[in-house]
Amino acid sequence: MMEQQTNVQAMTAHELTQHLFAQEELFILDVRNTSDYENWRIEGHRVVSVNIPYFDLLDGVEGVLEKIPVKQKVLVVCAKEGSSIFVAEMLAEAGFTDVSYLQGGMKAWSEHLEPVKVGDLRDGGAIYQFVRIGKGCLSYMIVSGGEAAVVDSLRMTDVYEAFAAKHQWTIKHTIDTHLHADHISGGKKLADRVDASYWLPEKDAEEVTYSYRKLEEGQEIQVGTTKIAILPIYSPGHTIGSTSLIVDDVYFLTGDILFVASIGRPDLAGKAEDWVGDLRDTLYNRYKELPEHLVVLPAHFGSYTELGPMGVVSARLGDLYRNNPGLTIADESEFRHIVTHHLPPQPNAYQEIRQVNMGKLKPSEEEQQEMEVGPNRCAIHDK
């Protein structure tokens, strides 16, 4: 007797990202443990997801078929892939004709970076945003005259190297706007690999164990031959050294100080009470003096609702002062209370991640992946 052929297909993290960017309908059956699902899951504008743990499906899917749409694309998701293949095959055998599983599972989803073009620079260059959609992290590549600078690089440095090589660009600078606590930085690693300069704010570097160039207000970091200048602006609050970047008098890279739908949290170094005043001064005074036309490009986003056309996360600074809830708190004491007493849970392993980013811990690749599991939660309004 011939073995029945199923219609199960693998969907890569890249393909899933494109589905979400295009806002296409998708039904997700997430078979991880309920606690993992509630903490962190795939979401999108036209995504419906249901959590049915794998161990509830070992005897078959007959009891849950009514919860799964027959005429819609179905994606089965688990932690690392294996369980989702098993469940997807059972659904196919039950008559579902458009069933896929997420290749590599949520582990691959967390690691995936999707480069999207933000816009052109005036003298022929461009700026690209690398969207880590599974974790809400954003990093940038600024290119001009065959040279590139990478800002807030993630640890998956091969992605930036491959993207630059594809376009025959040379990475000359890597820049961290601050000492990160929610993810492991790839800035120093990438700089060492490609023989580039690594920049870090000095006030965030008091405990680092490696060499760096001081990122200070008033500097210009040249990229290429077309005089594309990156102008650092000291903007403490999320960390004491946080520094924002203005690129080409158009783009405003705000790190973890200002997001599209929220503002940065000041507590990840245990100094919320000390830094909340700096945070307010940066947001309500220093940033307020800048031109409204600047396009804010943050280092994180908290929800799929912040994804714009083609996946770009951005907003005009002037619009944020009208619409961002973190920028409309007139009373300073109320601001202090909200920022210090109404914070979301802290990111997974954030203290260890800070130690890694100082160069004090050297975890294995697998340990680094485990440290970064889950959402980033760098904003005060994150879930």
User: Which residue ranges make up each domain of the chain?
Assistant: 9-108, 113-371
Residue 126 DSSP SS3: strand
Residue 4 DSSP code? P
Mean pLDDT across the chain, nearest whole number? 90
User: One of 78, 181, 246, 247 is an active-site residue; which one?
Assistant: 78
* Residue 235 to residue 247: CA distance in whole angstroms: 16
Q: What angle do CA 240, 241, 245 make, to 5 degrees?
A: 135
For residue 62, pLDDT beyond 60: yes
CA–chain centroid gap for 63, Å, is 37
113-371 CATH: 3.60.15.10
Please indicate whether residue 78 is annotated as part of the active site: yes
- Within 10 angstroms of residue 335's Cβ, the number of other Cβ atoms is 21
- Per the DSSP assignment, residues forming a β-bridge with 9 are 100
* Residue 230 to residue 251: CA distance in whole angstroms: 10
Task: Give the pairing type, strands 114-120 and 99-102.
Answer: unpaired
For residue 5, pLDDT beyond 70: no
pLDDT band at 34 (very low <50, low <70, confident <90, very high): very high
9-108 CATH: 3.40.250.10
Instruction: Region of 237 please: left (phi>0), alpha (psi -120 to 50) or beta.
Output: left
Residue 364 CB-half CA count within 13 A: 2
Check if the beta carbon of residue 121 is closer than 8 Å to that of residue 201.
no
Q: How far is CA 210 from CA 113, 139, 349, 350, in A?
A: 26, 22, 22, 20
pLDDT digits (tens, 9 = 90+) for 89-143: 999 999 999 999 999 999 999 999 999 999 999 888 999 999 999 999 999 999 9
- Within 10 angstroms of residue 1's Cβ, the number of other Cβ atoms is 3
- Within 10 angstroms of residue 330's Cβ, the number of other Cβ atoms is 7
pLDDT digits (tens, 9 = 90+) for 197-245: 999 999 999 999 999 999 998 888 999 865 566 877 877 666 788 899 9
Task: Give the pairing type, strands 26-30 and 99-102.
Answer: unpaired
pLDDT digits (tens, 9 = 90+) for 235-277: 766 678 889 999 999 999 999 999 999 998 776 555 667 778 8
